[in-house]
Amino acid sequence: MMQTIISYYLRSLSIKRRWIQLLFIFSFSLSFSYAEPLRSLTVATEIFNPPFIMQGANNQLFGFDIEMMEDICKTIHRHCQYHSGFFENTIISTIEQHEADIGIASITITLDRSQRVSFSIPYLPSEAQYLALKKWATVPFSKDVFNGKKIGIQVGTLFEKVINDSGFSNVEIVNYRSTPKLIEALSNGDIDFILQDALSAQYWATQMPVFAPFGKAFSIGYGFGIVVNKTDNELLQQINNALLEFEKNGGFKKTYNRYIGGSNVENFSIITSDLFAYGA
């Protein structure tokens, strides 16, 4: 009789132990199922800055920078929400104040800016170029040409400093709050030249045959970089790794050819660039 009771007790204990193990496994699985998802990343950008950023139907953003950013977000497994309407300098201050997580809009890396925010490895070289009406295409480029002329720039960019450092005499710098207003002013003859990113100048010369680049493209800064707050070192590293993967998997070349075109893509590599991340 005693042996039967002991045997029954041991079987009951074994069953209870198995139930406890099952409950533990179930609870452990449940905790993973209901784990808090990673929060969305807020991306500060511009509304219209082709070929980097454009806006289509239903305010949908697209362009080189946007498609590249989407690939990065997918690689790091984060959902990205875009807040547009910023200028280049206000994107930097927004990131600096931690009001957004990421900034992208063909933002030129400079030493001064890298004191305020961290930059990714450069994804494109930063070059500037003048844009003018086509009548200027046959005029040799020289500083004297700009004497007494009006040069349009977009507010919040580095281009005012670039012009002031160029040694021109008697030039008027006119600031515009949007690219369309800038292009309209040049088309109407309200200004004589525009100074902007070289790829933007080449884009407009292709899209509007009345325009032509004036003079050669020239380097400013240390390339275009993606901006994050100085405290977000882990996010910066994730973005850098995703940028390298973007080139390795062919996404960089495909996106470049879609929005920019030409053979210049062969002359720049994220992986082999001797530029590096500033402000980390």
- Cα separation, 137 vs 201, whole angstroms: 13
User: CA torsion sign, 250 to 251 to 255 to 260?
Assistant: negative
> CA 264 to CA 262: how far, in whole Å?
6
CA–CA dist 147, 213 (Å, integer): 18
Judged by DSSP in three states, 184 sits in: helix
pLDDT at 85: 87
- SS3 at position 124: strand
By the 8 A CB rule, do 156 and 88 touch?
yes
pLDDT in tens, the chain (280 residues): 545 544 544 455 454 555 445 444 444 444 444 445 788 999 999 999 999 999 998 889 999 999 999 999 999 999 999 999 889 989 999 999 999 999 999 999 999 999 999 999 999 999 999 999 999 999 999 999 999 999 999 999 999 999 999 999 899 999 999 999 999 999 999 999 999 999 999 999 999 999 999 999 999 999 999 999 999 999 999 999 999 999 999 999 999 999 998 655 555 667 555 444 444 4
pLDDT of residue 155: 94
3.40.605.10, 3.40.190.10, 3.90.180.10, 3.40.50.720: which CATH number matches 127-219? Answer: 3.40.190.10
Domain boundaries, the chain: 41-125+222-267, 127-219
pLDDT at 7: 52
Could you tell me if 41 and 72 are in contact, meaning their C-beta atoms sit under 8 angstroms apart? no
pTM for this one? 0.83
Q: Is 29 left (phi over 0), alpha (psi -120 to 50) or beta?
A: alpha
pLDDT value at residue 10:
42
Q: How many CB atoms lie within 10 A of CB 166?
A: 13
Identify the burial level of 52 via C-beta atoms within 10 angstroms of its C-beta, where 0-12 means exposed, 13-18 middle and 19 or more buried: buried
Classified by CATH at the fold level, domain 41-125+222-267 comes out as: D-Maltodextrin-Binding Protein; domain 2 (3.40.190)
Structure tokens at 213: 């680049």
Same fold, 41-125+222-267 and 127-219: yes
Say what the pLDDT of residue 278 is. 45
Residue 200, phi then psi, degrees to nearest 5 = -70, -45
